[in-house]
A and B are shown apart, each in its own frame.
Chain A
Amino acid sequence: EDQVTQSPEALRLQEGESSSLNCSYTVSGLRGLFWYRQDPGKGPEFLFTLYSAGEEKEKERLKATLTKKESFLHITAPKPEDSATYLCAVQAAGGTSYGKLTFGQGTILTVHP
């Protein structure tokens, strides 16, 4: 069974204090790993897709990396508006539905001014 574990569950940072969020996964053949941002009461907002180990993607203060067992979301010099829940999800190869993503529990990030 595919599994995604995110850590930490919650992270509190001061504005400008860089850090990383972890996503460990077990999947029977990775088709893609996805990072989303979710604000309270909203649906997830797509951030990145990573397909193979060694791949990196960047967007503003965020950088996502991928190994064969885990992915990291690095946040550089965060701002209060980066506060949200960050979700990691994997899509397994050979799944019955290409829309079936296995999500982690998320990391709740709070950035204080």
Chain B
Amino acid sequence: GAVVSQHPSWVICKSGTSVKIECRSLDFQATTMFWYRQFPKQSLMLMATSNEGSKATYEQGVEKDKFLINHASLTLSTLTVTSAHPEDSSFYICSASRDNRINSPLHFGNGTRLTVT
């Protein structure tokens, strides 16, 4: 069954507005979660690492003020796309490792399709 749950599965918003995406780990605690982005016909790219109780770590080229990450509990991380623009339209996917260990497989949520009009 699903290991990581993501909501909403799709969202359409107007340019300039903000959108929040939730990622929950099911039946396990995730001290760390990872946010990926996938553009059409392209590979998944890591955007940021979400750490419970501390600041997120962003990959090079990802604007931390635009993509706000909050990891308020051991089972929930949120990604807020602020002042969204059409170029932010993408497929956002969160992931977590069931045992939070290096080289353990990441389990991915079902993604959120964001369309900014």
The interface residues of chain B lying within 8 Å CB-to-CB of A45 are 108
Set B42, B44, B49, B103: member contacting A97, Cβ < 8 A: B49
Tell me whether A103 and B43 are in contact (CB under 8 A).
yes
The interface residues of chain A lying within 8 Å CB-to-CB of B113 are 41
Tell me whether A101 and B108 are in contact (CB under 8 A).
no
Does A91 lie at the interface of the complex (its beta carbon under 8 Å from any beta carbon of B)?
yes
Cα separation A99 to B23 with both chains bound (whole Å): 15
Given contacts A31-B102, A91-B103, contact A43 B6 (CB under 8 A): yes
Tell me whether B43 and A104 are in contact (CB under 8 A).
yes
Given contacts A34-B105, A51-B103, A101-B106, contact A43 B93 (CB under 8 A): yes
Tell me whether B95 and A99 are in contact (CB under 8 A).
yes
Does B34 lie at the interface of the complex (its beta carbon under 8 Å from any beta carbon of A)?
yes
A34-82 residues at the B interface, CB under 8 angstroms: 34, 36, 41-46, 49, 51
Tell me whether A98 and B103 are in contact (CB under 8 A).
yes
The residue in chain B whose Cβ has the minimal distance to the Cβ of A96 is B57
* Size bracket of the A interface: 20 to 34
Total A-B contacts with CB atoms under 8 angstroms apart: 70
* Size bracket of the B interface: 20 to 34
The residue in chain B whose Cβ has the minimal distance to the Cβ of A49 is B105
The interface residues of chain B lying within 8 Å CB-to-CB of A101 are 44, 46, 106
Given contacts A99-B32, A100-B46, A101-B46, 19 further A-B contacts (CB under 8 A): A32-B103, A34-B105, A34-B106, A43-B93, A43-B110, A44-B93, A44-B108, A49-B103, A49-B104, A87-B43, A91-B103, A96-B57, A97-B34, A98-B32, A98-B97, A100-B49, A102-B43, A103-B45, A105-B43
Please, could you name 24 A-B residue pairs with CB atoms under 8 Å apart, sorted by A?
A: A4-B43, A42-B111, A43-B4, A43-B93, A44-B44, A44-B108, A46-B105, A46-B107, A51-B103, A87-B43, A89-B44, A91-B103, A96-B57, A99-B49, A99-B95, A99-B97, A99-B106, A100-B34, A100-B49, A101-B44, A102-B43, A103-B44, A103-B45, A105-B42
Residues of chain A at the chain B interface (Cβ within 8 Å): 4, 31-32, 34, 36, 41-46, 49, 51, 87, 89, 91, 96-106
